[in-house]
Every structure is written in structure tokens, then in C-alpha cells.
Amino acid sequence: MKETADRSKFSECLWSGIKLVRRIASSGAGYTMENWLLVVIGAAGVIGWIAKRVSERDRQVAIGEAGLQLGLTSRSVDERFRRQLFFCFPLFQRGDPEFRRITNIVRNTTNAKEMSVFDYEYTVSHQLLRSGYEFRPWALRDASTYRQTVAVFRCQTGMLLVFDLSPRKAHHKIAKIFTGGEVAFDYDSEFSKNYRVRGKQESSIRTLFRPDLLRYLGQQTGWSIEAGGEWLVIYRHSKLVSAGNLSAFLEETTRITDLFEVCSRS
């Protein structure tokens, strides 16, 4: 009922805006081309903002319902949640602190493995004299916003090594020559082709990444994984998981976590 009422209110606001524009057009009250351009831009901005809010609310409802079907419960963002150690991980330090957002949290309450899934958003500014603007086919942007669905697991095996795994990009090969700091895995070329791993305890990290784990991850693409303490953070950068794919996402991330736990016990 609330969703229907909100949609009705959105339609009413939109129709009121259209009537206002028509009234201005019929009166022709001294509006120049520049005035009209400002009116159109302002109206487009308001409509876009409202549409975004409607889309976000629809996603919140859909994720909540999908989580409920999987035995997960919704949770609000509070200070206790923000004080968890994993918020010190690299993903949650990116971008402007004022524009970091956590939404659509669902967590497990029925099994032993503590886990939370949520959407995380951050915005990076591109300053002209530093990193420059971001060129896209359709725009020249001075800031970029990234949204991704993140799974966070508390590992039952205790303390994990500190490392981060990310998809390998073309420029990483050049950076490796000059900066180093990358853990080499000579016995699985498919994994090394798709990913790079960084961490200070190179020898221990190399031991942790046993052949079964390397083989499984080597067959996947796009995963980013950050670890430290009891926590494992898993996501695909700039990828939101739809409500319909939430079950598959949980299955994949749980499988990855299980493999890390097995390897850390060995």
C-alpha cells in the first residue's frame, strides 16, 4: 500500500510540474531562450532525482524480500555496525567520506557463519590538476560514483592474513616492474592471468592460496577480495547484484569463504 501511495505521489508531482511548464508556455511571460533552458534543465534534474529515489526504494523492498526468502533479516546502519574492523579495509576508505553510503543490509540469523550483504557506494573526485577528468563516451565527468554489492563474512577459523585480491588490469604489469609488492603464484597461470594479490607477508600468503583455491578463483572473473583479522570482504567492483541473483551471489561468496577457511586450517 505504501509503495502504491508513493508512486501515486510521484505521478502527482510530475503532472503538477508539466502543468506548470504549460502555464508558463501559454503566458509567454517574457521568457527568453536562456530562461527556458534553465527551466528545462531544472525540471530534468528534479525528475531524475525523484526517479532515482523511487528506484532506490524499489530495490530496498526487493532485496529485503529476497533476503527474507533466504532466511536473512534486514538491518539498519548503526554505529556498532560501522565500528566493525572490516570498515578499515581499502574498499571503505575510497572516495570522499561525505559521499560514502551503505544501504540494503541483510544478514544471516540462522546459521553459524556470521555474514552481512549490503550495497556500498562511494564517489571519487577527478581534480583537473591532479588525476584529471574521467573521459567517458558520453560525458566529461569531474566525479565518478561506484556502487557495488558487498558480502562480508566473519571467518570461523580466526585470524586471517592481511591481503587484497583484485582483477588484473593491463597497467598492473607495468606497475609491478616499478613498485613490486605483488605476490607471485607460479603454479596456476590462469589465476595469475586474471588476478593480482598484494600483501606484506608474501610467503605466508602464498602458502594460504593453495592449489584448490587458486584453481577455483582462476575459473572466475571480476572478484575483489580483502581480508584481515576475522573478516573476509568479497565483491565485484561497480557491480550491483539484483534481487533475483542474490541467492547465486551468496552461494558463490560462501563457497569462496569456505575455501579460504579450509586453506587457513591446513
pLDDT tens-digit map of 58-117: 888 899 999 999 999 987 777 777 778 889 999 999 998 888 999 999 998 666 678 999
- Residue segments in the chain with a per-residue pLDDT below the cut of 50: 1-5, 129-131, 138-140, 172, 175, 177-179
Could you give the strand order of the β-sheet that contains 143-154, starting from the edge strand earlier in sequence?
72-75, 101-108, 115-125, 143-154, 231-236, 223-229, 160-167, 195-198, 182-183
C-alpha 155/C-alpha 260 separation (Å) is: 9
Going from N- to C-terminal start, the domains of the chain cover: 1-69, 72-265
Supply the pTM of this predicted model: 0.77
What cell was used for 137?
A: 563516451
Please name every residue paired with 229 in a beta bridge, in sequence order, or none if there are none.
160
Instruction: State CA 127 to chain mean position distance.
Output: 23
What is the rounded CA–CA span in Å between residue 262 and residue 259? 5
